[in-house]
Amino acid sequence: MMDHVAGNHSAAFELAGDLHVMLSSEGTEAAAWWAAIGGALLEEGPLAAPVHKVSTLSAAEVRHKPQASVDGLIRQIDKGPRWRRGLTGVRYAATGTTGARLMKLEPGQSVPKHGHADLEATVVIQGRFSDGHGTYKRGDLVLGEPGMRHKPQAVGDEACVCLVAQKPGGFWRNFI
């Protein structure tokens, strides 16, 4: 969230961060804290921020304003995006943001076990999924780090819709 608040992300990761902030209290709080810390460091100089100033701020005092593209994405999902079935049967839809796409898993459906060569950010928009490392709900941000292997599967009676943001890369990077 530190990089998100500082604006150090590509558009795809910015969208993922904005969704996390918009859909979860944990995201809102983390963004507020990083904004407060960054502001204190700018005001007082590097490493000179008094801890008491930062620790007294609440999430309500520092707000990160999500991009308009988040609202557009939510409207797109509400209207029913144009889903396309991938090679594995998982459905995907374009978002209009390079490096970001929607993924839909029907109840019980899973993605084949795969790895990551680069960082991937997944934000749950609807439903829940489990991947062997945890179970994630609406608003949760899941980072797939290089070398991590997992097998996401929708859990519960509702379809799971996620935003998946990743660095552009070749097809074979998923088999690491």
Question: For the segment 74-111, what is each residue's pLDDT rounded down to a tens digit?
Answer: 888 888 899 999 998 899 999 988 899 999 999 999 99
Q: Do 155 and 174 meet the contact criterion of CB atoms below 8 Å apart?
A: no
What local confidence, expressed as pLDDT, does residue 74 receive? 82
pTM: 0.73
Domain that holds residue 108: 82-175
Distance CA 166, CA 124 (A): 15
Same domain, 101 and 146: yes
The number of folded domains in the chain is 2
Same domain, 114 and 140: yes
Give long-range contacts, CB 8 A cutoff, 24+ apart: 2-7. 2/34, 2/37, 2/38, 4/31, 4/34, 4/64, 5/31, 5/34, 5/35, 5/38, 5/64, 6/34, 6/38
**pLDDT beyond 90 at 58:** no
**Can you state the angle between helices 68-79 and 11-23, rounded to 10 degrees?**
80
